[in-house]
Structure 1
């Protein structure tokens, strides 16, 4: 089964995706409420996998709830918490439940999260996970055993257009493309010219680029991200805009809209990260439609 996201990208249509963080608990009412607001506004919704190494409900469960709602998910799956057996099992489970879009991630280290006493796994990394996905699609598991029904996925990987040195980033992305990545979803971008250079550099890989757009809610948030997220630096002029704004959230929407409009000329889609303010995503989308 070919996902709608895959179909739109293959036909050259510009796509818009977003993400909604799964709840820390079994009550998915608020999660589904946010997702329903975005239904028809975005082409797919990313479901994060214990983002920032903070424990939340299993992404496979909430991705399945989105499928039931008629909303196409992008199922994020990380290598931090599972060995190769569990990763393959979850991927086969996703296929059986009608989930086709996969974002393969290594995952934030457990020392950053809320269960620091836990033992990280990292049996595979993101490149090896992409290779595992390709192996499953060929009808076999990683041990060489034949599957009873092969899955079909639209697999993607993360990218950091503004990371330095870029040569090292490009080398890793080449490995991801060779391993089976069909799209790159980037970290938040703040420099459209850097995004243009990135897209040009990866064009020979024949991989679609979905640029990350983040809603900055305050100058403090922007400074925190610059300090703590590798490969991401919020420019001083954007921090100054937020600092001087009487309504920092409204200014954040304005900045995100501006960046999204500029990014549209250089990529195949955008991925909007609203960090808990998903109700504001339609405002950003309205500006670029």
Structure 2
């Protein structure tokens, strides 16, 4: 068994190093070749790679396998784990298996509803929610399972959680974030942000919680994609002026990259890191980050 490993992401954030993470979706199948090629290409560009868990309630390979492959090559993974598809037994088993493979970063998620995905007849579980999953991680880190039984070898997870800075009413969002902080989250990765002002408001509210914030930026590939997000993703609104910019562009994808680059510049002074969601266009991440000047702390 691999000995418990310390999170490199934790170490970077602990010294106020500005971090960059990116999301790469695992395959719908058992061939992880393309996934690994995308991940290897990001080595040196990002500090960690999120491996999504049946994102949007669409069935894909368990994120544990590609996360373990990343860890085996020295690429820092962030394992996303949702409560939608597993009860507390399965969640604990999955976490302990992750620790065995040296996967230490975990993003605890409740999960999208089944109706969003490609298996409408599936039965959702939701035995726990994200807050309870964070409490589960804390219990395992302490050397006990949820039944209070001592573990034969305890993990050392660095737990994170999701946040939606632009969701309204903001007070309700803040209440949820406080619960996640009390449950042990050490970092937030946010939904896609489009407003620096709302990020500033968010940072002022969460700083007292002592949790690092990695701000999400999504690559808008078309105006249609932006409209779909506005219609289907709660807590996220693509401004109409950005939709118009994409509509008027001769090459919408290039316009989307330009928008993402502007957001990197506008958001990075106010947070602890940037999280890029390139939606299958991971090869464009270096271009999106081209104007980012990292430092050992925040500029503001």
| TM-score where L is the length of structure 2 | 0.95
Match of 1:24 in 2: 28
CA distance in 1, matches of 2:241, 2:270: 22
1:177 aligns with 181
Residue 287 of structure 2: aligned partner: 283
Is the counterpart of residue 212 in structure 1 residue 239 in structure 2? no
Matched, 1:66 2:70: yes
How far the C-alpha of 1:286 sits from its partner, in A, is 1.6
Structure 1: stretches of 5+ with no match in the other structure: none
Say if 2:160 is the partner of 1:156.
yes
TM-score normalised according to structure 1 size: 0.99
Aligned length: 289
Match for residue 3 of structure 1?
Answer: 7
C-alpha deviation, 1:2, in angstroms: 2.2
CA distance in 2, matches of 1:83, 1:127: 14
Distance 2:218 2:60 in 1: 21
- In the alignment, structure 2 segments of 5+ residues that lack a partner are 294-300
The CA deviation at 1:69 is 2.0
Matched with 2:233 is 229
Match of 1:241 in 2: 245
Which residue of the partner structure matches residue 197 of structure 2? Answer: 193
Question: Which portions of structure 1, spanning 4 or more consecutive aligned residues, are displaced by more than 6 angstroms?
Answer: none
Deviations 1:110-163 (A, max 9, x none): 121111111110000000000000011111100011101111111000000000
* Corresponding residue for residue 298 of structure 2: none
- Counterpart CA distance in 1 for 2:109 and 2:136 is 13
1:201-260 Cα distance to aligned partner (Å, 9 max, x none):
000000000000000000110011011000000001111111111111111111001101
